[in-house]
């Protein structure tokens, strides 16, 4: 089977060939996911450096949801919860 295409062709969702003066190719979705995972790993690593091991679970939402109010002095408690929520928000934003 022979296919003759002038310019870029889209086959099964993939763009083949180069158009003249077209926009630069967008990064692949898997690359964006890898960047988000890398950013999330970096954020958790930074958080682990700041908190004792027993205060940090694998899932930040679990750490926040399962935290018992009053189990730390109030100044430590507010800082602890702020650190967890800030890290979770930064991960959602992608770094």
Average pLDDT over residues 5-31: 60
Contact residues for 17 (Cβ-Cβ < 8 A; gap 6+): 5, 7, 8, 9
Q: Is residue 17 a contact partner of residue 5, using CB atoms and an 8 Å limit?
A: yes
| pTM tops 0.75, yes or no | no
**What's the pLDDT tens digit per position in 34-82?**
777 788 888 888 888 888 878 888 788 888 888 888 988 988 899 989 9
């Amino acid at each position: 089977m022979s296919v003759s295409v002038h310019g870029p062709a889209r086959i099964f969702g993939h763009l083949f060939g180069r158009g003249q003066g077209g926009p630069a190719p967008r990064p692949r979705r898997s690359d964006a996911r890898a960047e988000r995972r890398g950013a999330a790993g970096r954020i958790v690593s930074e958080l682990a450096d700041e908190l004792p091991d027993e205060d940090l679970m694998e899932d930040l939402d679990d750490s926040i949801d399962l935290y018992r109010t009053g189990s730390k002095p109030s100044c430590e408690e507010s800082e602890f919860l702020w650190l967890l929520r800030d890290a979770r928000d930064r991960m959602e934003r992608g770094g």
